[in-house]
C-alpha cells in the first residue's frame, strides 16, 4: 500500500507543472472568457478532468517505458543524427523539427484512419474549448502517438534532451492553443507565422469537417502551409465540436472513456 501511495505522490510531483499551468489558465478564463459556454461549465470541467485522470493512470507506465527507450538511444547512439559529428544545439534543433513533423503526420493519419479517429474524436467533440480541453485525450490515442515518436526517435537518433526541450515548448503552447481567452490579434498574427497559436488551433476544433481536417500542427504552423492543410477563419464565425457529437450523452464521462470501443467511427 505504501508503494502505491509513494507512486501517486511521485506522479503528482512529476505532473505538478501541468496542474500549476491548468490552475493559472483556468483562473484567467474565469475572469476574462472569450466565448460564452454552451454547457454547464462545472459539469464540463468535471468530465474533462475525469478524462485527464483516466489518461494519466493508463499512460504513466507507457511514459516510463518511453523514458527508458530514449535513454537507451542516447547511450547506444542509435539513429541517423548520431552518425554525424553535429554540435548538440544543431542535433537538438533538427530533432525538434523531425519530431514535430512526425507528430503532424500522425495527427493527419488519426483523422483519416477509422480506428484512430474513434479515439481522437474525443478531443474534437468538446462543444466548449478551454484549458481543460487541452487534456481531453483518450489514452489509446496517446499510446499510438508515443509509439510513433519512439520509432522515429530510433530511426533519426534524437533522444532525451530533444524530448525534454520539445515538451518544454509544447506544454505551455498546448494551454495557449485551447485557452478560452483572447490574445491580441497582432501577437497572434506574428506568432502564427511559426507557431500553432490559439486562433490557428481553434479552426481545428471547429466543424464543418474541412475545418476539423486542417491546421494539424502541434508546435509549428508551417507544416500545414507546406503540406496544404492550412485554413484561416474568423474565430467569431466558428462552431466548436463535431457535427455528429452534439448530444449531452456524447459528452458524458462514460461515453468519453468507453464510447470509442463501441463506435465504428
Ligand atoms: Zn485533431
Domains held by the chain: number: 1
Distance (angstroms) between ligand 1 centre and the Cα of 204 equals 7
Ramachandran assignment for 135, one of left (phi > 0), alpha (psi -120 to 50 degrees), beta (any other): alpha
Distance (angstroms) between ligand 1 centre and the Cα of 107 equals 6
CB 166 within 8 Å of CB 99: yes
Distance (angstroms) between ligand 1 centre and the Cα of 22 equals 21
Tally of CB atoms within 10 A around 167 = 13
Distance (angstroms) between ligand 1 centre and the Cα of 82 equals 32
Distance (angstroms) between ligand 1 centre and the Cα of 216 equals 6
The helix-helix angle for 160-178 and 41-76 (nearest 10°) equals 160
Distance (angstroms) between ligand 1 centre and the Cα of 9 equals 32
Distance (angstroms) between ligand 1 centre and the Cα of 89 equals 30
Distance (angstroms) between ligand 1 centre and the Cα of 218 equals 10
Euclidean distance between CA atoms 43 and 56, whole angstroms: 20
Euclidean distance between CA atoms 47 and 43, whole angstroms: 6
Domain that holds residue 6: 2-262
Tens digits of residue pLDDT in 11-64: 666 677 888 889 999 999 999 999 999 999 999 999 999 999 999 999 988 989
Euclidean distance between CA atoms 107 and 153, whole angstroms: 17
Tally of CB atoms within 10 A around 1 = 5
Distance (angstroms) between ligand 1 centre and the Cα of 178 equals 13
Listed range (157-161, 202-206, 222-226) with the worst mean pLDDT: 157-161
The pTM of the whole model exceeds 0.75:
yes
Distance (angstroms) between ligand 1 centre and the Cα of 249 equals 21
User: What value does the mean pLDDT take over residues 179-192?
Assistant: 93
Tens digits of residue pLDDT in 108-135: 999 999 999 999 999 999 999 999 999 8
Q: What is the mean pLDDT of the chain?
A: 91
pLDDT of residue 3: 67
Amino acid at each position: 500500500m505504501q508503494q502505491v501511495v509513494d507512486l501517486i505522490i511521485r506522479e503528482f510531483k512529476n505532473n505538478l507543472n501541468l496542474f500549476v499551468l491548468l490552475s493559472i489558465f483556468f483562473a484567467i478564463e474565469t475572469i476574462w472568457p472569450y466565448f460564452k459556454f454552451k454547457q454547464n461549465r462545472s459539469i464540463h470541467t468535471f468530465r474533462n478532468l475525469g478524462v485527464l485522470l483516466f489518461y494519466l493512470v493508463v499512460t504513466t507506465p507507457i511514459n516510463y517505458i518511453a523514458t527508458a527507450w530514449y535513454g537507451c538511444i542516447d547511450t547506444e547512439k542509435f539513429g541517423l543524427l548520431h552518425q554525424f559529428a553535429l554540435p548538440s544545439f544543431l542535433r537538438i534543433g533538427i530533432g525538434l523539427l523531425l519530431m514535430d513533423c512526425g507528430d503532424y503526420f500522425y495527427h493527419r493519419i488519426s483523422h483519416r484512419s477509422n480506428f484512430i479517429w474513434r479515439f481522437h474524436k474525443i478531443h474534437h467533440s468538446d462543444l466548449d474549448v478551454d484549458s481543460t480541453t487541452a487534456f481531453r485525450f483518450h489514452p489509446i490515442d496517446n499510446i499510438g502517438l508515443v509509439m510513433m515518436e519512439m520509432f522515429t526517435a530510433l530511426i533519426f537518433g534524437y533522444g532525451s534532451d530533444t524530448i525534454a526541450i520539445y515538451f518544454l515548448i509544447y506544454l505551455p503552447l498546448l494551454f495557449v492553443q485551447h485557452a478560452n481567452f483572447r490574445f491580441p490579434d497582432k501577437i497572434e498574427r506574428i506568432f502564427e507565422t511559426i507557431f500553432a497559436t490559439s486562433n490557428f488551433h481553434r479552426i481545428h476544433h471547429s466543424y464543418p469537417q474541412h475545418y476539423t481536417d486542417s491546421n494539424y500542427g502541434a508546435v509549428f504552423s508551417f507544416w500545414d502551409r507546406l503540406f496544404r492543410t492550412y485554413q484561416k477563419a474568423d474565430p467569431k464565425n466558428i462552431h466548436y465540436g463535431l457535427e455528429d457529437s452534439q448530444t449531452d450523452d456524447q459528452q458524458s464521462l462514460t461515453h468519453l472513456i468507453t464510447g470509442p470501443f463501441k463506435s465504428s467511427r
